[in-house]
Chains A and B, each alone.
Chain A
């Protein structure tokens, strides 16, 4: 990781730091960590209700979303690697691949929300669905911001050297996208798999 104002690190050199985005990520995952614990505390008081509500979620959609985000995350890693080598067109291709695959998450989530609303399930249905909509909703906002970042990076890499000052921005955008990925890695089993049988 490098500072946003610097170019790509020398080949094989250990990463330095990207303080701004890392501070944000640490704060953000901490807040999500508190929400995860709050969910589990509430669950421990209403296990049958939470298990019953959880079993009404479509596990296959949650699983698919996990695979989508992890694959999109891999493509972002490859974009950063290409940028570090100064390969602008390859960087753009991987950024685009990451965006396109990542878009699948949004489509999937909208289908899922639509199904819930069609069945009269919303934030006020019960405590499980209150957490379901808050956790996945806040995560979805993060996802949308990540998609905007990927699109902006793709546009900026059209006329700018990717191993110059832009490299730090590409790396920061990638770190943010990985945060979106890793939060979903926890949200998926917690909401969909605990008591899903």
Chain B
């Protein structure tokens, strides 16, 4: 059972965990001083980078047919961009 933990997906999981904690810290404005807007952009970008890694490594889209991979990657880009654009339009 433990031998599977040495699979390449475990470091990806670790990276996802670290990214989650970092984005939580950004939620308190860490490293951005009074520029909370930039912290928010970083939070959203990190979220969609995490989504991409779930697509590629957890859902195995890295080895999937290209059209399928494009559909999922396009979803992440379109929804992520829309959220960021709408966030800026409201600030």
Contacts and interface: CB of A to CB of B under 8 A. Distances in A.
Interface of A: 1, 14-15, 17, 22, 26, 29-30, 33, 36-37, 40-41, 43-45, 47, 59, 63, 66-67, 70-71, 73-74, 76-78, 81-82, 90, 93-94, 175, 178, 181-182, 185-186, 188-190, 192-197
Given A14-B63, A93-B1, A41 B58 contact: no
Contacts of A66: 20
Contact of A189 (B4, B47, B71, B79): B47
19 contacts: A1-B64, A33-B75, A33-B78, A37-B86, A40-B87, A41-B86, A44-B86, A59-B24, A66-B20, A73-B54, A78-B5, A90-B1, A90-B4, A181-B58, A186-B47, A186-B48, A186-B83, A189-B46, A193-B23
Q: B interface, by DSSP: helix, strand, loop or mixed?
A: helix
- Which residue, B16, B27, B44, has most C-beta atoms of chain A within 10 A? B27
A72 B45 CA distance: 23
